[in-house]
Structure 1
Amino acid sequence: MTIFESNNTNSDIPKYLQLAEAIRNTIRNGKLLAKDNLPSVKSISQDMHINRHTVMKAFAELIAEGWIESKQRVGYTVVANLPIEQSQSSSNVTTRQRSFDFRLVRNGIKLTDYPAEQFTYNFSGGQPDLSLFPFNEFKRHMSAVLARPQTSQLSYGESAGTPELIEQIKIYLRKSRAITNREVVVTNGSQEAMYILAQLLLKPGDKVAVEGINYPPAMSIFKNAGAELVCIQQDEQGLLPEDLAVKISQGNIRLIYLTPLHQYPTAVTLSVSRRMKIYQLACQHKIPIIEDDYDHEFHYRCQPLPPMASEDPQQLVIYMSTFSKIMFPGARIGLVAVNKKLAKAITEYRLLICHKSNVLMQSALAKWMQDGGFERHLRRITRTNLHRRDHAISLLHSYGCFEFEIPDGGMALWVKLKQVNLKQNTVTDSKISASQLSEQAKKCNIRIQHESQYQLIAENNQDRYIRIGYAGMHEDKFAKGIELLFGIIQSQ
């Protein structure tokens, strides 16, 4: 359907001039902007049922007037510098459009002014090194999918995910996490899964039990659903079940959110005994648990503890994970493993948001997993991340101004800032706060996340901790970034 509309029915005006005026009006009202491509001569001719020579003559008229130009191998485009008449008209239209004040009844997550990937030194804690992903190997599986597409899957339906990927995920969860007898729903990243769960399980006024230092996007999702966040105390070993019991006794807690393996952001692994106490409380009070197992694969000291969902006779644990840390965030593949009733509810609610996920990406991933390439890649990057963790630990210790516990796994370190006085050979609390360091680091093109971004209660913020991701950068680049950070700290 053409975007040009001509209301001029006066037969005394030549058709090419009528078309030229229609194109001018399209540019004037902002449907076509400077440098936009015009439809081809053939398409305009067919859509408007006019001769191609008439279209060419109209284009020639507009070129002569300075509205459009012809570019080799590109076609016809609107000129970069429009005539004064159009500029004034466009400016007025733009002003009118921007003047409307919408009534916004929901808030999302604030967009960053400067995306993390644009920093030279990006210490974001959950960022994988994209240069390590075997794109050529994965390309072969994507090409195979495109060469022999299952056309039935390209239409609507199968909203829980492609059957072959669901099957591969079930095999992977059984082998690597001992999770069985669960239905799997593939989502557009774990963020979408969390949003759907919040909408299904929470209503305004409900309470969600969370750790005091936690994952900000999850907190935003729960608040968006109208829930109240209840801060549960934590120590160097993770969440305190005793405090959870007290908060539950105060009433109306409808959900517990945990990252028990490599707690976000502190990287602490919750012990078996504490997991059992939390699970018993959840069973006793009939409270579901969201277990966000975002980087299970990257555990180095020993085999990681099985997820809480692997020993869940009541099936009240909602297991959630993502492929973003293994592949790349742009893959947008997350998963939830739950009982049949909740899986059906998730799939049906998801239809309100999106009828279908990226079938081609899912099918290619399924082939990659079936071929064994996924697990080979996983072994490679796990070895690399372990080496980078050990390098980061050694390097940070050498400076003396970074204090931290060595985690059993994960992709980042939770680091307390110190000040080193080389002359007096003393170490004291840093004069610069974590948030101040983050701001000053931006001037050196360094991105770090600081404590106040994770604290649920502002009064608990010591402003002394930063999260340093080590998985996303080569050792040499990581070392240079830490050297610059050290310089900022010591200059105070």
Structure 2
Amino acid sequence: MSSPVIIPYQSFVQIDRTSATAVYLQIAYQLINAIQRGYLNAGTKLPGTRMLSEILEVHRKTIVAVYEELDAQGWVETRPNKGTFVLRKKEERPDRFQISLEHQLALYPQKTGYSFTESNLLDNPFEHSACEYVFNDGTPDIRLTQIEYLSRLYSSNMKRKSNQRKFGYYNQEGSEYFKENLSNYLNLSRGLHISKKNVLITRSMEMSVYIISEILLNAGDIVVVASLSYFSVNMIFQKSGAHILQVPIDAEGIQTDAVRDLCRKHRIRMLYLTPHHHYPTTVTLSARRRIELLDLANEYGFVILEDDYDYDFHYDKSAVLPLASADTNGMVIYAGSFGKSLAPGFRTGFIVAPENLMSEMRKYLGIIDRQGDVLMEQVLGEMIEEGEIHRHLKKSIKVYHQRRDVFTTLLEKKFEHILHFQKPSGGLAVWVEWQQPVNLLQLSNACAKDNLFIPKTLLYQNRNLTAMRLGFGHLDEAEMQHSINILEYHIKKQS
């Protein structure tokens, strides 16, 4: 066997003195890597501890610790009066042992050595920018969140002895305490008639839709959505193999006559809608059409997946109760997000459905989110029980109501004759339709150069429509003014 001295250890053992990983472990891991890749073959004699410490310019005790670690993991054996030898059997090392910089063992492979199916359906549609001003699709202002209160509540729950035993085991069922409080909250605010047995806690609306699709949809099933609908949910439906059919929308929401026509021609498995504030147009589904949809679901046997998007944000009148509150035949699955007015880390998703479906859903949740987030659920449960979520919503809705009025006034003032919109009765965004030719993609790119970011997901343009969904909830008055001024400037440049 070749002398250990001629092996260029410095080429594949690289020490990062700034790393949090101990130096001896860095060396040990890279030697293991060399053994696994065949650079150090079975039977190779490693240098003595003093010699290797000089080669790598570390203390001899560090190399002693390295060899002890390798021995403990079963990669080497120490033979009395002979030295330390590699145990792992690998194919023979090439005669010329040269490692170029681009093939150093410290680098991770750039590509897999196996094939796999790549999905274009799930390409991330969300964009990010360093621009100071941003239009989004309608998100709350984190500056209005009671961070100090939430931090205190979170910390106190961590320290509370009665809670500590809850954190020592997985609970795919979710916090019983939170589910009980959430079910009470939904009963009072949504007019539902449920118990905690009808509630599943998820991490997000998208996770909820994924679980629902895995259980209820098969390849080739037909899902009906509005002609303008939430792109992320549509991606999940397509990934499940479902075939999506679209129905028109108008000032009263989706057109039920079009749904009925589809039911007569096809076997519909599911209808997805956001009836309270339709995404993206913000219109509210009329009471008459709500009744018609429930009747159609009962008649043709399709599932209604109701997304309670922006349900908590309403300004001019009381919220319209969801379809689920009037469902007596178990045709509606109600899903949404709780705590949307809070910071993103304090939100959670939920699904409301009959108990037999809930039992199956828990099986899937146990696979993809077995441990859950019991601590966060405990905090949210206390916010409901102590009435803090109601107080927070009441304060924040006043702010968002004022911001909606300021934002719509600015739009009317700046774009009076070239822009059409209806002031939304709730939600955190405005749907605007341009009445003159506008290239929305060019507009977005031009605004970005002036520090205003407009994501492509907010742009809706085809032969018959030129529209945008503009979120205002995250902007104060000065930010609105500046953003609208940039938009106005580049609209005039295109004219």
Inter-partner Cα distance in structure 2 for 1:96 and 1:299: 52
Match of 2:184 in 1: 171
- Sort the Cα spacing of 1:386 and 1:87 in 2 relative to 1 into closer, same or farther, 3 A: farther
Q: Does structure 2 conserve the Cα–Cα contact (< 8 Å) formed by 1:156 and 1:355? A: no
CA contact (8 A) 2:12 2:104 kept: no
Q: Which amino acid aligns with 1:402?
A: L
| Distance of 1:214 and 1:250 partners within structure 2 | 22
Q: How far off its partner does 1:237 sit?
A: 1.9
- 1:369-384 aligned at under 5 Å gives the runs 369-384=384-399
Q: Does 1:436 align with 2:442?
A: yes
Query: How do 1:304-453 residues align onto structure 2 when only pairs under 5 Å count?
Result: 304-323=319-338, 325-399=340-414, 400=416, 401-418=418-435, 429=436, 431-449=437-455
For the Cα contact (< 8 Å) 2:410–2:481, is it kept in 1? yes
How far does residue 148 in structure 1 lie from its aligned partner after superposition? Answer: 1.8
2-side partners of 1:374 and 1:212: how far apart? 35
Structure 1 pair 358/95, CA: closer, same or farther in 2 (3 Å)? Answer: closer
Segments of 5+ residues of structure 2 without an aligned counterpart are: 29-47, 63-97
Q: Highest CA radius of gyration, 1 or 2?
A: 2
The equivalent residue for 1:292 is: 307
Residues 25 and 397 (structure 1), Cα distance of their counterparts in 2 relative to 1, 3 Å cut: same
Contact 2:229/2:279, CA 8 A, preserved across alignment: yes
The Cα of 1:304 is off from its aligned counterpart by 0.8
Counterpart amino acid of 2:193?
T
Aligned ranges 1:183-194 → 2 under 5 Å: 183-194=198-209
Alignment of 1:172-251 (within 5 A): 172-182=185-195, 183-251=198-266
Choose the corresponding residue for 2:287, options 272, 282, 305.
272
Change over 3 Å in CA distance of 1:148–1:487 after alignment to 2? same
Question: CA 1:461–1:300 in structure 2 vs 1: closer, same or farther (change >3 Å)?
Answer: farther
Identity %: 27
Pairs within 5 Å for 1:452-467: 462-467=464-469
Residues 1:327 and 1:369: Cα distance change in structure 2 (over 3 Å): same
Shift of 1:366: 1.6
2:428 maps to a residue whose letter is M
Indicate whether 1:38 and 2:21 are aligned: yes
Amino acid at match of 1:375: H
Classify 1:42/1:445 alpha carbon distance in 2 versus 1 (closer, same or farther; 3 Å).
closer
Q: Which letter maps to 2:266?
A: G
What's the counterpart of residue 125 of structure 1?
A: 137
Deviates more, 1:274-283 or 1:432-441: 432-441
After superposition, residues 472-483 of structure 1 pair within 5 angstroms as: 472-483=474-485
Superposition TM-score, scaled by structure 1 size: 0.79
TM-score calculated relative to the size of structure 2: 0.79
3-state SS, counterpart of residue 36 of structure 1? coil
Quote the RMSD (CA, aligned, Å): 3.4
- The answer to whether the aligner puts 1:159 opposite 2:172 as a matched pair is yes
Deviations for 1:138-183, whole angstroms, at most 9, x for unmatched residues? Answer: 0111011110253443244431311111111111101111112251
Task: Give the Cα–Cα distance (whole angstroms) in 2 for the partners of residues 132 and 198 of structure 1.
Answer: 35
Map residues 16-165 of structure 1 onto 2, 5 A cutoff.
Answer: 25=12, 27=14, 36-39=19-22, 62-63=56-57, 88=101, 90=103, 94=107, 97-98=110-111, 100=113, 102-107=115-120, 109-111=122-124, 114-115=127-128, 118-148=130-160, 150-165=163-178
Secondary structure of 2:246's counterpart equals: strand
Please list the CA deviations of residues 295-337 of structure 1 after superposition, one character each: whole Å capped at 9, or x if unmatched: 1111111001011111111121111111363113333511111
2: distance between equivalents of 1:216 and 1:335? 20
- For each residue in 1:414-460, what CA deviation from the matched residue of structure 2 results, as whole angstroms up to 9, or x when unmatched? 00124xxxxxxxxxx1x3222332232222232335688568xxxx6
Asked if 2 retains the 8 angstrom alpha-carbon contact of 1:44 and 1:55, the reply is no
Instruction: Quote the residue 1:422 is aligned against.
Output: none
